[in-house]
Chain A
Amino acid sequence: MLERIPSIRKAPDEEYYVPGHRTCAGCGPALAYRLTAKAAGPNTIFIGPTGCMYVANTSYGCGPWRVPWIHAQITNGGAVASGIEAAFKVLARKKKYQGEIPHVIVFAGDGGAVDIGLQALSGMLYRGHDVLFICYDNESYANTGIQTSPTTPYGAWTTFTPAGPAVPEGKKLFPKDNPKVVAHGHPELKYLATASIGWPVDLMNKVRKGLNAEGPAYLHIQAPCPKGWQFPPNKTIEMAKLAVQTGMFQLYEYENGEYKLSVKMEERKPVAEYLKLQKRFAHLQPEHIEKLQAFVDARCAEVGITVPAVASAR
């Protein structure tokens, strides 16, 4: 059993995601990886479906993990993990493997978890493999140069949803809510949560809870992307915090059919305060922002965030 981490001060020193990777300066997903590896510890195997966290981390034939890591296609992280988990189970049973069964973690981007990789994720959860599947959500296909994914917010500019006179809002669709897709149709699922790099201790504890659960777990981590969202790289943490404080991203655990909010919120900031700091939203008109605010209000209500959005005093 991995123990609960009470505070930043008490978080383990050991790094299993070491310096030396080609991720962006200020990369949110890289921080998510580091915190996940730190929480999981040495007896861990990572599966890395294609995406930024594959390509940027392993550029030029090397990688930053102190624990075993294997590439998966962007399509099949869940299936590859299923095979690895099953192999350790049977090899231990047949006495072909001695030693503790390792934690198996898939670290997939939103493409590899929510879009082209969803089938493999769902299959893995359905079959009950003891795997922690993490989606690091940077809200676009970032590795290929920022194209829309199903989790790209309404109104965001990407190279596949550029804003123009005919399409003034850029992306017209609202994002797919993968935690909810996962939560409501997989009877073997043992743990589900969302996390943010803005709340590192909470994130690490959710990783540990997911690993402690005997069976499949899903963790959806929002991880801001300075390149794709177009903000300065030192603002990554601020962006993560604002996403939660505006309700653009909701932090919760889902257990026994109930949403348990992870952060107490006295009030919500309007989404406009979040949008204005990111160039991907620079083209939005007031009516677009209104539409997005209404969508966020509804989603917050769904998980039990009832405080209204109030503009902060200037």
Chain B
Amino acid sequence: MSTGSNLFAEPGLQQITVWARGVVMNKDARDIVVALAEAAAREGKYVQAWENYVDLPDRVYVPVRAYARISTDPIESKYIYENETPDIIILVEETLVKGVPVLRGLRKGGVLVVNTRRSPEEILSFLGDTGNLETLVTVDASSLSTAVTTLSGAEGATDATGIGAGIAAPLAGAVVKATGIVSLENLAAVVKNPEAMRRGYELARVTRLETKGAAQEVAVSAGELLKQLPFAGTVPSPVSENEGMVTGNWRMQRPVLDQEACTSCDTCWIYCPDSCITRTDEGPTFNLKYCKGCGICEEVCPSGAISLVPELNFKD
């Protein structure tokens, strides 16, 4: 006895989803949604901004989401705790285009803003089927400001460091350029670094795309959910890898071995917290399905045989 989706439609509502990396950038993700919501509130809009509870507690480098809703009418979906059909998606860090389903649920005519110095074409090459995406915005926000890492403001507490001092400001500026969702003046009034925000606005490169349309996802039925759940949630132990938690898409930098320099001392192997290094006769091999790119292997290598290379330099 489900109702048609139109019954609960909120035509005046826009959903904004920000993706970032846990701990090191989640403050910037939160700042973007808070800044846009606060600016919209100055324009008499109904707003809300929050972090995705399922992504918390955030872990270093894990993909995390923060959300905003901006509406001309009172928000009735306030406690639907995820943005299921975003209009605007913002990536605080470029590697998120690789292996993270960032475009999921994007509404027709949707906008994607990416913090990158790479070309739109290169970014598009990682996204694959862009579905409903109509506008791609690229901006090198990291060159305009520095990410702020703080634990203040987590878990719903007040952020003692203020809003929009880091890369959130230029990224919010880029959002305004592509969408005009709030005015530049109102955004400037709520961020701590309005100069970087304006530079983000100016430098943002807007690319229009042809909307291809996306297939509707079919929800799993309640009966199926119940059938899938093992007795008391107890699951068999994994044998060689836990495929329920694939972490390769956390990685921003990939370890690469210089075989000539490697002495097969096994130091990198013993120190990998993710059991992602196998020792072989030719030196270590890296399990890229799970490697989070923490960089410990490079750091502990006594002979400098391991280097870290940006993940987007690789197509695989």
Contacts and interface: CB of A to CB of B under 8 A. Distances in A.
B59 A24 contact: yes
Contact of A66 (B237, B287, B292): B237
Interface stretch (A94-102, A122-130, A225-233, A256-264): A225-233
Interface in A262-314: 279
Given A159-B151, A233-B294, A60 B273 contact: no
A66 B127 CA distance: 35
A55 B242 contact: no
Interface string A15-26: 101111111111
A30 to B, nearest CB: 4
A62 interface: yes
A61 B294 contact: no
Interface in B110-154: 149, 151-152, 154
B299 A238 contact: yes
A25 B60 contact: yes
Contacts of B300: 237
B287 to A, nearest CB: 6
Contacts of A20: 238, 241-247, 290
A21 B152 contact: no
Nearest to A10: B266
Interface string A179-223: 000000000000000000100110000000000000000000000
A9 B284 CA distance: 13
Given A24-B23, A144-B57, A200-B271, A18 B296 contact: no
B270 interface: yes
A8 B266 contact: yes
Contacts of B272: 31, 34
Contact of B245 (A25, A59, A162): A59
B241 A19 contact: yes
Interface string B4-47: 00000000000000000011000000000000000000000000
A236 B235 CA distance: 32
B237 A162 contact: no
A28 interface: yes
A143 B237 CA distance: 23
Contact of B275 (A18, A145, A197): A18
A41 interface: no
Interface string B153-194: 011010010000000000000000000000000000000000
Interface residues of A, number: 58
- Overall SS of chain A's interface: loop
A59 B295 CA distance: 23
Given A31-B273, A238-B299, A18 B154 contact: no
Nearest to B244: A62
A19 B244 contact: no
A63 B23 contact: no
A227 B298 CA distance: 20
Nearest to A279: B149
Contact of A61 (B56, B233, B275, B287): B233
B225 to A, nearest CB: 12
A17 B265 CA distance: 22
Interface in B262-279: 265-267, 269-276, 279
A11 B270 contact: yes
A201 B265 CA distance: 14
Nearest to A30: B273
Contact of A68 (B237, B250, B279, B295): B237
A26 B160 contact: no
A132 B266 CA distance: 28
A235 B152 contact: no
A235 to B, nearest CB: 7
Contact of B250 (A18, A25, A55): A25
A63 B59 contact: no
A198 to B, nearest CB: 9
Q: Which 6 A-B pairs have the closest CB atoms?
A: A20-B242, A62-B244, A234-B295, A19-B290, A24-B60, A26-B294
Given A55-B57, A61-B233, A234-B298, 20 more contacts: A15-B240, A17-B275, A20-B246, A21-B242, A22-B59, A22-B247, A23-B274, A27-B60, A30-B274, A63-B242, A68-B237, A143-B57, A145-B154, A159-B152, A233-B296, A234-B296, A236-B273, A236-B294, A237-B296, A238-B299
Interface of B: 22-23, 56-57, 59-62, 149, 151-152, 154-155, 157, 160, 233, 235, 237-247, 250, 265-267, 269-276, 279, 287, 289-290, 292-296, 298-300
